Chains A and B, each alone.
Chain A
Amino acid sequence: MALLELTDVEAAYGSVKALHGVSLRVDEGSIVALLGANGAGKTTTLRAISGTVRKTGGNVLFDDQVINLRSPEDVARMGIAHVPEGRGTLAQLTVWENLKMGAYVRRDGAAVKQDFERVVSYFPWIGQRRDQVAVTLSGGEQQMLAIARALMLRPRMMLLDEPSLGLAPLIVQDIYRIIETINREERTTILLVEQNARTALSAANHAYVIEVGRIAVEGTASDLASQESIRRSYLGY
């Protein structure tokens, strides 16, 4: 069953059109990768979902509700956690304050408390460094903190924008292991955007390749990874 469905979504920054009709669907419980080159519209697609870019056409359906006109804060309140490009670290706040902000919209205090513990079990270093100011964390730690903060929402769906960007290969492995664990154990549906196609395809069930604001190719992750022509012409490895 589709949890999220985009139909012919168009979006623009001012008068510059960035998406020319993107259609994709993300099934509940799956990991979907959105791949493509720099400037193809990957980030804009995520922003169109979370309402941080102006949509000029098409439909975004989440949990059978049209969310075209919802503000970013309302989209978050529906249970979509968007980890933006550049991780959106609340740099001057402490690690723990970052996590607290992740749970900002929740009113179930007792469960939030449990979630703090659960998040710490995913990322043990967070427990030891809760009072550290986030700007002093390494890039990999900031990425983990961003994912941890998104978890605190107990989201139905996570939008991850290039979780591997600028990180060493070993750390990327760590982060993808955690993403897969979250998907498996929390049943969180994940839509992730990546330039690093090989890593993303190894984690995803399904994948889309976007080119100049349109979906060019789609298929199961293993299909896309095994077809050499697609790999060469679109994924660059």
Chain B
Amino acid sequence: MQGVLQQIVSGLATGGVYASLALALVLIYRSMEALNFAQGEMAMFSTFIAWELVAVVHLNYYAAFAITIAVSIVGAFVLERVVIRPVEKAPPLTVVLVTLGLFFVVNGLAGLIWSYVIKPFPGPPGFPQAPVSFGGVSLGIQDLFLIGMTVVLLAILYLFFQYTKLGLAMRAAALYPETSRLLGVRTSQMLALGWGLAAGVGAVSGMLIAPIEFLDPNMMQPILLYAFAAAVLGGIENPVGAVVGGFLVGVMLALIGTYVPGARDLRLAFGLVIIVAVLIVRPGGLFGRAHVVRV
């Protein structure tokens, strides 16, 4: 039983990473109805920037963390203006294809700059390495940090969207672009801002998973698949759903990887199974509504 609890906690920890990347996907999906296939690669690139700041510039870990988020937000804002804006009014499929292109460009660029040799990435300093024990269940501090960061990130995003003028305008622009423009909202800029925020959230997911999975240009690809699964499971338009989906996928993968013999190597396949199963059984996801299109 304690073993199960331990697996659940470590599942929640990696689930937090899937949750943040899924959240990034949902942020963009809500405003453009397109999945950003490059979201994981952008997060990977951000993580390399953090690595550069910590390992090469020797900056404090937390300062590097904050700077990386800021750089990611600005970088993705500019990226949207340059690459996505020209296809903003095109059908979602066009946007998806552009993000697929971005996937390869960002991946190749990271390989070119930092090479494909894996690198260790530091965890947050100032935390004891030894696990703490609650009622016989020993919990890794790293795991707790992951869960805590995910919760903090969610709280910040919630407060931003619920209580700031800009957050409100971004919600309105995503849901009701035409009316929002009549109210003076520059919806196109809001899209770019959405890209920036998504990249900031993605950067967090990359920096959180890198100490566990090591750093290399391909590190986010399985995570992106799990994040897709999480987003689909939660309902692709629902931020809360994405987070719940992320934690669920994390826990399921941890349990299956531990208790189903030979399943550890099938985790990727399991991610795909979730996506297909949800789309067949309940296309709207746990928290979404199925769309009815009248033709």
Contact = CB atoms under 8 A, between A and B. Distances in A.
B168 to A, nearest CB: 6
Contacts of A97: 168, 172
Interface residues of A, number: 24
B286 interface: no
Interface in A95-114: 97, 100-102, 104-105
A7 interface: no
A104 B102 CA distance: 34
A192 interface: no
B213 interface: no
B181 A71 contact: yes
B187 to A, nearest CB: 8
Interface of B: 165, 168-169, 171-172, 175-176, 178-187
Interface of A: 50, 52, 71-73, 76-77, 81-82, 84, 88-93, 97, 100-102, 104-105, 149, 153
A93 B170 CA distance: 12
Contact of A52 (B168, B178, B185, B187): B178
A73 B184 contact: yes
A80 to B, nearest CB: 9
B181 A88 contact: no
Contacts of A100: 165, 168
A50 B183 contact: no
B184 A77 contact: yes
SS class of chain B's interface: helix, strand, loop or mixed? helix
Contact of A73 (B168, B172, B175, B181): B181
Contacts of B171: 93
Contacts of B176: 88, 90-91
A101 B184 CA distance: 9
Most chain B CB within a 10 A radius of its CB, from A50, A52, A101, A102: A101
Contacts, number: 59
B181 A76 contact: yes
Given A52-B178, A84-B179, A90-B175, A73 B186 contact: yes
A103 to B, nearest CB: 9
A5 to B, nearest CB: 21
Contacts of A71: 181
A237 B165 CA distance: 47
A86 to B, nearest CB: 9
Nearest to A50: B182
Contacts of A72: 181-182
A153 B185 CA distance: 12
B182 A84 contact: yes
A89 B180 CA distance: 10
A88 B182 contact: yes
B185 A73 contact: yes
A84 B181 CA distance: 11
Given A73-B186, A100-B165, A104-B165, A52 B172 contact: no
11 contacts: A52-B181, A72-B181, A73-B181, A73-B185, A73-B186, A73-B187, A76-B182, A90-B179, A93-B171, A101-B183, A105-B184
B207 to A, nearest CB: 33
Contacts of A82: 182
B169 A101 contact: yes
B183 A93 contact: no
